[in-house]
């Protein structure tokens, strides 16, 4: 078996947001092929994308899995669906969102799956919790540690 370290982003802004995050963690952990090894603090963030909606709870977790990226995507989508997610509007409100942020050092751009996640390096709600659990992880495309990418994004938002 070929186990990979993978980072997932979790987000919820509908219903009992804390429960939605905890339940998605439980369902991920129940999956025979996934083991959660690190969890960031859950943070509250404003939505992005220009759609008026409630604030999010976000968390980044590190898992190990022997599932290939395509299968892990299907697992995440099944858990989202199990928790009641309905995809109506891009960047719209959601019960739960489980995104594959990074999959080892892989770079993959196929239909419906981009690794690393194309928005990961531009989102504080990804970089802040990611820096908490893996500050030295090297972004496979930008070839910089997460802590450096976060610092540069924070500086760009100030100026």
Give SS3 for 78: helix
Average pLDDT, the chain: 91
The pLDDT of residue 88 is above 70: no
98, 80 in Cβ contact below 8 A? Answer: yes
Q: State the pLDDT at residue 95.
A: 83
User: For residues 142 and 18, what is the distance between their CA atoms, to the nearest angstrom?
Assistant: 32
Domain ranges for the chain: 4-119
- The yes/no answer on whether domain 4-119 falls in CATH 3.20.20.70 is no
The pLDDT of residue 114 is above 80: yes
Length of the chain: 159
Residue 156 phi, psi (nearest 5) = -70, -30
User: For residues 75 and 127, what is the distance between their CA atoms, to the nearest angstrom?
Assistant: 23
Q: What is the pTM (predicted TM-score) of this model?
A: 0.93
- Band (104; pLDDT cuts 50, 70, 90): very high
Q: In the numeric block, which tokens belong to residue 30? A: 């129940």
Task: Give 132's contacts (C-beta < 8 A, 6+ positions apart).
Answer: 40, 41, 60
At 30-83, the pLDDT tens digits run 999 999 999 999 999 887 776 777 889 999 999 999 999 999 999 999 999 888
Beta strands 108-110 and 97-103 are: unpaired
At 133-143, the pLDDT tens digits run 999 999 999 99
Q: State the pLDDT at residue 2.
A: 81
């Amino acid at each position: 078996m070929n186990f990979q370290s993978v980072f997932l982003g979790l987000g919820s802004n509908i219903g009992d947001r804390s429960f939605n995050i905890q339940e998605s963690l439980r369902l991920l952990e129940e999956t025979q092929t996934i083991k959660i090894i690190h969890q960031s603090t859950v943070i509250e963030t404003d939505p992005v994308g220009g759609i008026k909606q409630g604030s999010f709870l976000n968390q980044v977790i590190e898992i190990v899995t022997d599932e290939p990226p395509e299968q892990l995507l299907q697992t995440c989508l099944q858990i989202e669906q199990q928790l009641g997610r309905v995809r109506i509007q891009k960047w719209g409100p959601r019960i739960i969102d489980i995104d594959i942020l990074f999959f080892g050092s892989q770079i993959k751009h196929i239909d419906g799956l981009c690794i690393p996640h194309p928005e990961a390096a531009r989102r504080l709600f990804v970089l802040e919790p990611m820096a908490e659990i893996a500050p030295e992880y090297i972004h496979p495309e930008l070839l910089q540690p997460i802590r450096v990418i976060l610092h540069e994004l924070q500086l760009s938002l100030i100026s």
